Amino acid sequence: MTRSATASSRGRAGWLAGAALLLLGTGALAQNGTAPATPAPQAAAPAPGAPAAQLIRIGFLRSYERRLALSALDIAPESIGLAGAQVAIADNNTTGAFMNQRFELEAVTLKPGDDVSAPARAMIEAGVHYIVTDLSAADTLTVADLAAPAGALVLNAGASDDRLREVDCRANLLHTAPSRSMLTDAIAQFLMWKQWRDWALISGEHENDRLFAEAMKKSAEKFGGAIVAEKVFADAGGARATDSGQAQVQRQIPVFLQDLPEHDVVLVADESEVFGTYIPYNNWVPRLVAGTAGLTAGSWHPASEQWGGAQIQNRFEEAAGRRMQSKDMNAWAAVRVVGEAASRTQSADPAMIDAFVKGPDFTLAAFRGQRLTFRPWNWQMRQPILLGTQAAVVSASPQEGFLHQVSELDTLGIDQPESTCAFPG
């Protein structure tokens, strides 16, 4: 799987085989032929005497089940996250060809509710030192705790729960996924920059919806926005899509929002996909919508092409047959963290790589206009957050004017002075 990903990203690999010889690390990539004058369409053997490439294995543990959404466009594709990890493996291997390093992805997909311990144990016992996860908060913690005795690192590319960065933080658990509070802070900064200060908050009743609403309220407090009203949208069950279509939505949603006091923006907290998508354009009064619907926040956007983003979008689309989403970016970044540290240390030794990742010199370039680094107090990756509609990127936070003594990126999410994370030892 990983080999084919590498080959496809290079395009005409066979034709290239004879075209060039890489003097350094000739043994690393089979398609780099050893005789430049003679075209060799088939993969050539590594140069005699060249050392075998050092192998770095990266596990990917995720839970996926096709889940309906209010809009068919919001249904997560089967390869969500995984495709980002695969593109990053191909990127790591292209660089690895010059470093005599080779990266392999070992992916396991579970269904929600499946036991995560057994596959996690199997990976750790097989000597996998890096495990990228796209799991629930509870399962992410389980994997991190299983990995700890072996000294393995877990890179969380899926769970946005703040508790994983706070009370439940772990010394071997790094987060490339932004936390909920980073996402809500990104939205709040933008709304304050626009001077749209009065917000009506509509939340779903499921746990994740409430967590998003709580984060949104803290963001309001942090940046001076006013929550002028709160309502909970009850999940009455029923189908996500029906043959009678939008008719009832257009009649019922305005009535539900009719009693809100004067507000600039409706904030929606509906990670569960119960009602959020129905809010824009169905309000009682004409107001903009942000949160999990309308203007949404993420580590990435399928339309982002700024900051060299066109290149990653192009090679992602070529590999995956679709546009890149936030979870793909989180997984890409997680696998690239390992690749970047391996090339910087010129080592496949986990001790060297881990020390570099957790050290002060680690940075990652990830198409968002500035370097990404880790917060040493809870191992959250600092990153700009993109704000967009379904079709386009609208802005990127941190917004101009939100200053910070260390990094403006630390205006997003829970900052060190407020952090409750305490690593043991």
Q: Which residues bind another protein (CB under 8 A)?
A: 9-12, 15-16, 19-25, 32, 36, 91, 94-95, 98, 308, 311, 314-315, 318, 336, 340, 343-344, 346, 363-365, 369-371, 407-409
Pairing, β 385-388 against β 295-298: antiparallel
> Which residue has tokens 């970044």?
333
Give me the least distance between CB of 41 and another protein, in Å please.
15
Amino acid at 222: K
Name, in order, each residue with C-beta under 8 angstroms of 280's C-beta and a sequence gap of 6 or more: 289, 293, 294
* Residues 158 and 330 sit within 8 Å (Cβ to Cβ): yes
What span, in angstroms and rounded, lies between the C-alpha atoms of 108 and 150?
20
Give me the least distance between CB of 128 and another protein, in Å please.
24
Beta carbons within 10 angstroms of residue 321's beta carbon: 10
Beta carbons within 10 angstroms of residue 175's beta carbon: 29
Give me the least distance between CB of 315 and another protein, in Å please.
6
Give me the least distance between CB of 395 and another protein, in Å please.
15
Sheet hosting strand 54-63, strand order edge to edge: 101-110, 54-63, 130-134, 153-156, 173-175
Amino acid at 152: A
Nearer to another protein, 103 or 212 (CB): 103
Give me the least distance between CB of 215 and another protein, in Å please.
25
Give me the least distance between CB of 388 and another protein, in Å please.
20
* Residues 88 and 42 sit within 8 Å (Cβ to Cβ): no
- R_g (Cα) of the chain, nearest Å: 23
- Partnered with residue 232 across adjacent β-strands are 203
Phi, psi of 280 (to 5 degrees): -55, 135
Nearer to another protein, 370 or 419 (CB): 370
Nearer to another protein, 90 or 200 (CB): 90
Nearer to another protein, 346 or 420 (CB): 346
Nearer to another protein, 18 or 291 (CB): 18
Nearer to another protein, 2 or 9 (CB): 9
